[in-house]
Amino acid sequence: MIAASPADFRAALPSGGRLAGLDVGTKTIGVALCDAGWTFASAAVTVQRRKFSKDLEALKAIFDAQQVAGLVVGLPLNLDGSESPQTQSVRAFARNLDAAPALRLLFWDERWSPMAVERDMIGMDISRKKRAAKVDAAAAEYILQGAIDGLVAG
């Protein structure tokens, strides 16, 4: 079920539970996980995109192994808040994902995540090659941390 709002998502998960954050790109899907108490997010893995059935299989294995109760999917809006073709692609991916596993799903604005993650990695003097390998999972971590901060505060 795709939640209409953070409040609806929180209400659907009254006892908390582990969340996964997804940064859905055209070539990869960054995955992050948080603890069951919604305290902190950690980058987990980057899944190489193939056919949707293979993507779902890889994600479901992660969700099952980590006992994930809900998903936070980064929604790539334009800087002015409008939707783009990439936004529609992520929405379609989430609708397909929502039909498969029985997990609650929340969209989270990810407009600033790529820039923030890249800036942080440059600040840590991580090489361009290593940044490329880690940026998607780090972006998922940034998205998930923003969501859990908002969910806990709200």
- Give the H/E segment covering residue 138: helix 128-153
Is the pTM here over 0.75, yes or no? yes
CB atoms closer than 10 angstroms to residue 89: 14
DSSP character string of 23-54: EE-SSEEEEEEE-TTS--EEEEEEEEP-SHHH
Side-chain half-sphere of 18: how many Cα atoms within 13 Å?
Answer: 14
State the distance between the two ends of the chain, measured CA to CA, in whole angstroms.
20
* Closest C-alpha among 46, 74, 67 to residue 136: 46
What tens-digit pLDDT sequence spans the chain (154 residues)? 899 899 999 998 878 789 999 999 889 999 999 999 999 999 999 999 999 999 999 999 999 999 999 999 999 988 898 999 999 999 999 998 876 667 889 999 887 666 677 777 677 777 777 666 667 788 899 899 999 999 887 6
Is 3.30.420.140 the CATH classification of the domain at 17-153?
yes
